[in-house]
Amino acid sequence: MSSTEPINLLGLDTAALTDLVGRWGGKPFRAKQLQRWVHQRGADSFDDMTDLAREFRQQLTAHCSIHAPDVSSEHRSADGTRKWLFDVGKNNAIETVFIPEDDRGTLCISSQAGCTVACPFCSTGYQGFNRNLTTAEIIGQLWYAKRAVQADLSSARVGDQAEAVPEPARVISNVVMMGMGEPLLNYDQVLGALRLMIDDNAYGLSRRRVTVSTSGVVPMMDRLGRDCPVALAVSLHAPNDALRDKLVPLNRKHPLAELLAACNRYLEHAPRDFITFEYIMLDGVNDTDQHARELIDIAKQVRCKFNLIPFNPFPQSGLKRSPAARIRLFAQRLMDAGLVTTVRKTRGDDIAAACGQLAGDVKDRTRINERLPDRAVIAIKQERG
């Protein structure tokens, strides 16, 4: 950033904002006021911040800005899911999804333009990787979506529409770092965003309602446990190293034994007393009774719950979703063993907003996508024999 480029306040946590205000002779409470204007009230103009001194507002106008990435498009699903495509510059775009449910409103946000992990069942992986997002770009997705959801709520208060949407679904009550990218491979920028999400002067979310999903970046899991423990979801997807090496290539660097040990270390700090294991259901690949038995063995090693995710097909993968009957039977095997197990409801698939479908538009610098199709086919053939 050049010295003349405005400072985007969306990217500053409490400490950084307090330091900035202090350099102008302001007291720490001024930074808190400013933070509340930006994140709680969603202000995008310093002129609107009427309880701040005029001289202070003039300094802010001269040196700072408040802006999220530009929105290229928005889509609404028949089930109420909303998806935004954000332009993050140089022909790269990321996707963000809001999912209203009866008891919550969940925002799924991205942390990278693309992804280097290259799981063959994930559409993002076929886009390759361009760069990490900044804290301002990460928190900007929440800032923008909150304003958009609140605008809908304001219009819904008129007439019968207000009664059609359950109250909890009208606000963003939960944030999940499950969009494009591997959050823990963009650790410093994600950490800044997480701290804003749980700050009472910013978004004030409970640590239990902010979830980081990781494919198993063990060293960063340990750092997150020390720095800002929030709810943790681990993209497991396979119950043994041989299969996980194919489905989650990061497993070759941090195999299951190492990953499970890191999960137990994380639980010493976590706001919840379990790890959520995400498990995508792939027909004939990882959905047999033997795989279920192996998952039961894993659950003996880590306090956990399982979230089974029906695969959302896309052309490049060569993979198929497990049949509904197979998913039900697989879930029942786990529940019969006393394990908390849920099957994720597919939401937003008509606008390509469902789990694993987020692709955005990434100018790949890695050529990962050239290698992915062969990997998917190999995984199927070896598992089916």
Domain count, the chain: 2
Find out whether 181 is annotated in a ligand binding site.
yes
Look at residue 170 and tell me whether its pLDDT is greater than 60: yes
Work out the percent of the chain whose per-residue pLDDT is above 90.
71
Q: Residue 322 in contact with residue 291, Cβ under 8 Å? A: no
Report the C-alpha gap between 158 and 165 in whole angstroms: 13
Does 199 share its domain with 243? Answer: yes
Burial class (CB in 10 A: 0-12, 13-18, 19+), 364: middle
pLDDT at residue 10, rounded to an integer: 98
Residue 2 falls inside a structural domain: no
Find out whether 182 is annotated in a ligand binding site.
yes
At residue 308's C-alpha, the angle toward residues 350 and 385, to 5°, is 100
In CATH, what number is assigned to the domain containing residue 198? 3.20.20.70
Rounded to 10 degrees, the C-alpha dihedral 364/367/370/373 comes to: -80
- Identify the residue with better confidence: 182 or 363: 182
Residue 1 falls inside a structural domain: no
Identify the band that residue 183 occupies on the pLDDT scale cut at 50, 70 and 90: very high
- Mean pLDDT, the chain, rounded, equals 88
Among left, alpha and beta (phi > 0; psi -120 to 50; other), residue 91 is: left
Identify the band that residue 102 occupies on the pLDDT scale cut at 50, 70 and 90: confident
Q: Which of 35, 65, 95 is the last residue of a domain?
A: 65
pLDDT at residue 359, rounded to an integer: 47
Look at residue 259 and tell me whether its pLDDT is greater than 70: yes
Report the C-alpha gap between 43 and 51 in whole angstroms: 13
Q: Residue 186 in contact with residue 117, Cβ under 8 Å? A: no
Name the CA radius of gyration of the chain, rounded.
Answer: 22
Residue 225 falls inside a structural domain: yes
Identify the band that residue 161 occupies on the pLDDT scale cut at 50, 70 and 90: low
Find out whether 213 is annotated in a ligand binding site.
yes
Does 129 share its domain with 265? Answer: yes
Find out whether 64 is annotated in a ligand binding site.
no
Give the other-Cβ count within 10 Å of 356's Cβ: 23
Strand segments (E) across the chain: 7-8, 64-65, 70-76, 82-87, 93-100, 105-108, 112-114, 129-132, 174-177, 210-214, 231-235, 275-281, 304-310, 341-343
What is the pLDDT averaged over residues 233-255?
97
pLDDT at residue 364, rounded to an integer: 58
Find out whether 119 is annotated in a ligand binding site.
yes
pLDDT at residue 58, rounded to an integer: 93
User: Which amino acid, 282?
Assistant: L
pLDDT at residue 122, rounded to an integer: 85
Using alpha carbons, list the distances in angstroms from residue 92 to 85, 128, 131, 280, 322.
Answer: 10, 11, 9, 27, 33
Does 113 share its domain with 49? Answer: no
What is the pLDDT averaged over residues 215-237?
98
Using alpha carbons, list the distances in angstroms from residue 86 to 7, 58, 77, 120.
Answer: 20, 29, 18, 24
pLDDT in tens, 295-347: 999 999 999 999 999 998 877 778 999 999 999 999 999 999 999 999 987 75
At residue 150's C-alpha, the angle toward residues 104 and 271, to 5°, is 35
Identify the band that residue 353 occupies on the pLDDT scale cut at 50, 70 and 90: very low
Look at residue 365 and tell me whether its pLDDT is greater than 80: no
In CATH, what number is assigned to the domain containing residue 57? 1.10.150.530
Report the C-alpha gap between 20 and 10 in whole angstroms: 13
Identify the band that residue 91 occupies on the pLDDT scale cut at 50, 70 and 90: confident
pLDDT at residue 316, rounded to an integer: 74
Query: What does residue 366 show for φ and ψ, rounded to 5 degrees?
Result: -115, -20
Look at residue 208 and tell me whether its pLDDT is greater than 50: yes
pLDDT at residue 367, rounded to an integer: 59
The DSSP-derived string for 181-198 is S-GGGSHHHHHHHHHHHH
pLDDT at residue 287, rounded to an integer: 97
Does 156 share its domain with 251? Answer: yes
Any idea which residues carry the catalytic annotation? Answer: 95, 355
Does 42 share its domain with 125? Answer: no
Report the C-alpha gap between 267 and 245 in whole angstroms: 25
pLDDT at residue 349, rounded to an integer: 58
Does 52 share its domain with 118? Answer: no
Q: Which of 50, 65, 80 is the last residue of a domain?
A: 65
Whole domain around residue 25: which residue ranges?
7-65
Residue 117 falls inside a structural domain: yes
pLDDT in tens, 123-160: 877 778 889 999 999 999 999 999 999 888 766 555 55
